[in-house]
Chain A
Amino acid sequence: MANPSAYLDSASSEPLHPAAREAFLAALDQGYADPRRLHRPGRNARLILDNARAAVAEALGARADEVSFTSSGTDAVHRGLLGMVRARDAGRVAHSAVEHSAVLHALEWWDGEAVSVPVDRSGRIDSPVPKADVVALQSANHEVGTLQPVAEYAGDAPLFVDACASMGRLPLPEGWAAAAGSAHKWGGPAGVGVLLVRKGTRWLSPFPADDRADERSSGFENIPAALAAAAALQAVLAERDEVNARQFAMVDRIRAAAAAVPDTEVVGDPVDRLPHLLTFSCLYVNGEQIVQELDRRGFGVASGSACTASTLEPSHVLAAMGALTHGNVRVSLTRDTTDEEVDAFCATLPEVVAEIRTEHDL
């Protein structure tokens, strides 16, 4: 079989959308100047930035003055969450056990009390959110795809929503006081995060101030990239009904193929989930080895197993769900993933797992 060369790791980074490329190239020559300056190039840059902000606001159901561009999704998470914490002089933040490490690291850096809310076997929070000054809850899980009941949250504390895993793919859930997204997860360029702060939300920058036009961000904006991110977001919204339905069905097929591999557990909610992503764990299989063997056969996938991470700690998401942490594979589809690639993956997976297991003679 020809090497299919299928990139199945869009949850780490989606390839650049053609609309983003086009907007980026067009803005490169026009968007170089400082948007705060009053000269013509400065006004041009400002216009591009304002257009990008307006497009993102419209796509996400926000007002333009609620949108900031940050240097990454992680930066947007740090600023959004810690800015709410600082403005309220918060002593206690509640968060789901399966938040992205950007949320967990922000809370470690802060010296208040962070309370983790446990999740069920599917990765959804399954107990009441305890009393806190700020609550952090993701829209969807970046590793297993399970959607969190954000819109059902009815507590008093304002809600920070890390929407990095779902932004562009699914509507932003209601109820956020602040929210964060990451452009390269929807087909925009890397290095562009989106921070939303709802009008009326108390927010104070947790980091050194910067004399930029946008007090919620710092540093010189990457204006061409911001426009490219906005163009990709608009394009993704326009095509998502069709793309999501196609990807949802493909993921169902891969879930079934993975579940048919002996001693393999598909984790995450089978229905109430992101359209493009699935995770499974294979007993007695080394996560690094299966990623390498699949890569050798042309499939680029991610893994939450400890041997693929920079530390000895396995995925805190899988651990919180009580799922097997070794032998883990995350498959996430791009908008261009074909049925043929899905077929080839489904045919290859059992062979690779069986081959790795024969070494153990169990």
Chain B
Amino acid sequence: MNAPVSPDAEVDCRGQLCPAPIIELARHLGDVAVGGVLAVACDDPSARHDVPAWCRMREQEYVGEDTADDGVPRFLVRRLS
């Protein structure tokens, strides 16, 4: 469950429903350098499926899921391009 990766930036999507967190992910992946990891903190259950699907469609790397300090899931994406 806990990916041994510490993200370089985090985008807070708590309380947002899909597709809003995925739109935020697309907007903010550029906040990290190529090779860096962006965390999307999101309590919408759709994100568990849609973050990996987005990574596949946009050719980025889905790293895995960990948990923020408040218990909200965080989905980790490595910027490849």
Interface pairs (9), CB distance under 8 Å:
A265-B53, A283-B57, A284-B23, A312-B17, A324-B49, A324-B53, A325-B53, A326-B19, A327-B19
What mask results when residues 293 to 307 of chain A are scored 1 for a CB within 8 Å of chain B, else 0?
Answer: 000000000000111
Residue of B nearest to A306 (CB): B46
Question: Measured between alpha carbons, how far is A283 from B60 in the docked complex, in Å?
Answer: 15
The 5 closest A-B pairs by CB, nearest first: A326-B18, A324-B53, A326-B19, A319-B49, A314-B46
List residues of A (273-323) whose CB comes within 8 Å of B's CBs: 281, 283-286, 305-307, 312-314, 318-319, 322-323
- Check A283/B45 contact, CB under 8 A, given A305-B18, A327-B19, A360-B23: no
- Check A362/B18 contact, CB under 8 A, given A312-B44, A313-B45, A322-B56: no
Q: Is A263 an interface residue (CB 8 A)?
A: yes
Question: Measured between alpha carbons, how far is A263 from B22 in the docked complex, in Å?
Answer: 13
Question: Measured between alpha carbons, how far is A314 from B45 in the docked complex, in Å?
Answer: 8
Question: Measured between alpha carbons, how far is A324 from B48 in the docked complex, in Å?
Answer: 10
Contact (Cβ within 8 A) B22 A283: yes
Residues of chain B at interface, number, CB under 8 A: 18
Question: Could you say which of A306, A322, A327, A362 contacts B27, with CB atoms under 8 Å apart?
Answer: A362
Contact (Cβ within 8 A) A322 B52: yes
Task: Show the binding face of B for A, using Cβ within 8 Å.
Answer: 17-19, 22-23, 26-27, 44-46, 48-50, 52-54, 56-57
A358 to chain B, nearest CB (A): 12
What mask results when residues 192 to 215 of chain A are scored 1 for a CB within 8 Å of chain B, else 0?
Answer: 000000000000000000000000
Residue of A nearest to B26 (CB): A362
Main SS at interface, chain A: loop
Main SS at interface, chain B: helix
Q: Please name 6 further chain A to chain B contacts, defined as beta carbons within 8 Å, in addition to the given A284-B23, A306-B46, A322-B49, sorted by A numbering.
A: A283-B19, A286-B19, A305-B18, A313-B45, A314-B45, A360-B23
Residue of A nearest to B17 (CB): A307
- Check A326/B50 contact, CB under 8 A, given A285-B19, A306-B45, A313-B45: yes
Task: Show the binding face of A for B, using Cβ within 8 Å.
Answer: 263, 265, 281, 283-286, 305-307, 312-314, 318-319, 322-327, 360, 362
Question: Could you say which of B22, B26, B27 contacts A326, with CB atoms under 8 Å apart?
Answer: B22
Question: Could you say which of B44, B50, B52, B57 contacts A263, with CB atoms under 8 Å apart?
Answer: B57
A263 — which chain B residues lie within 8 A by C-beta? Answer: 57
Residue picked from B22, B26, B53, B56, most chain A C-beta under 10 Å: B53
Question: Measured between alpha carbons, how far is A301 from B13 in the docked complex, in Å?
Answer: 29
Question: Measured between alpha carbons, how far is A324 from B47 in the docked complex, in Å?
Answer: 9
Question: Measured between alpha carbons, how far is A263 from B56 in the docked complex, in Å?
Answer: 11
B27 — which chain A residues lie within 8 A by C-beta? Answer: 362
A201 to chain B, nearest CB (A): 37
Contact (Cβ within 8 A) A314 B57: no
Contact (Cβ within 8 A) A324 B54: yes
A284 — which chain B residues lie within 8 A by C-beta? Answer: 19, 22-23, 26
Question: Measured between alpha carbons, how far is A168 from B3 in the docked complex, in Å?
Answer: 48
Contact (Cβ within 8 A) B46 A325: yes
Question: Measured between alpha carbons, how far is A263 from B50 in the docked complex, in Å?
Answer: 13
Contact (Cβ within 8 A) B45 A312: yes
Residue of A nearest to B49 (CB): A319
B48 — which chain A residues lie within 8 A by C-beta? Answer: 319
Contact (Cβ within 8 A) A325 B50: yes
B56 — which chain A residues lie within 8 A by C-beta? Answer: 322
Residue of B nearest to A281 (CB): B53
